Amino acid sequence: MRCCAGGVGVCEALVNRQMTIEGKCWRCGSVMESVEHVLMYCLFARVAWLGFVFSFVIPPTDFLTFHQWIDKLATNVYPSKAIQRKAVSFVAFMCWYLWKARNDFYFDNVNSSPSNVIRCADRAWHDYFNAIESNAS
Ligand SMILES: [Zn+2]
């Protein structure tokens, strides 16, 4: 995943590449926009994660990197491999729709809601698993 490798064009990455931009999150304006901020710690993301069907909670303080969080999610949270696989795949869909909402806000001035993010992620995730299960039978 590009997020773990620092390959996503968040403001922090652009500032590190000497671009002259302010670098703060455009949505909340509180901190430098990092991958972790967009996908985990921004209030918009935190509210979206509240609707997460597996009740996984984003850490209360921003001490985990995205990579550490994904590792923790993949290894420590769920005892069943099947549930773990579903949870991790749902996280991937959530991250995609959080990123898409960020880009829609930045580039098209479309202000989505956290509930819309989770609704889109949930729909895509169900479509994904329905396709896998129909191919398996
Ligand atoms: Zn923010």
Ligand 1 centroid, distance to 95 Cα (angstroms): 14
Ligand 1 centroid, distance to 94 Cα (angstroms): 16
Ligand 1 centroid, distance to 129 Cα (angstroms): 31
Buried b (16+ CB within 10 A) or exposed e, 26-61: ebeeebebbbbbbbbbbebbeebbeebeeebebeee
Residue 46 located in a structural domain: yes
Band the pLDDT of 2: cuts 50, 70, 90: low
Residue 13 located in a structural domain: no
Band the pLDDT of 85: cuts 50, 70, 90: confident
pLDDT above 70 covers a percentage of the chain that reads 79
Q: What is the DSSP letter of 134?
A: H
Ligand 1 centroid, distance to 47 Cα (angstroms): 12
Ligand 1 centroid, distance to 128 Cα (angstroms): 29
What total of structural domains would you count in the chain? Answer: 1
Average pLDDT of span 102-115:
92
Band the pLDDT of 4: cuts 50, 70, 90: low
Ligand 1 centroid, distance to 43 Cα (angstroms): 6
Residue 120 located in a structural domain: yes
Cα gap 21→53, rounded to integer Å: 37
Residue 74 located in a structural domain: yes
- Please name which of 87, 89, 63, 92 lies closest in space to residue 77, comparing C-alpha atoms: 87
Q: Which two tokens stand for residue 52?
A: 């997460």
Residue 17 located in a structural domain: no
Band the pLDDT of 10: cuts 50, 70, 90: low
Per the structure, the complete domain to which residue 119 belongs is given by 37-136
Ligand 1 centroid, distance to 38 Cα (angstroms): 6
* pLDDT above 90: residue 61: no
Residue 5 located in a structural domain: no
Average pLDDT of span 21-41:
85
Ligand 1 centroid, distance to 86 Cα (angstroms): 27
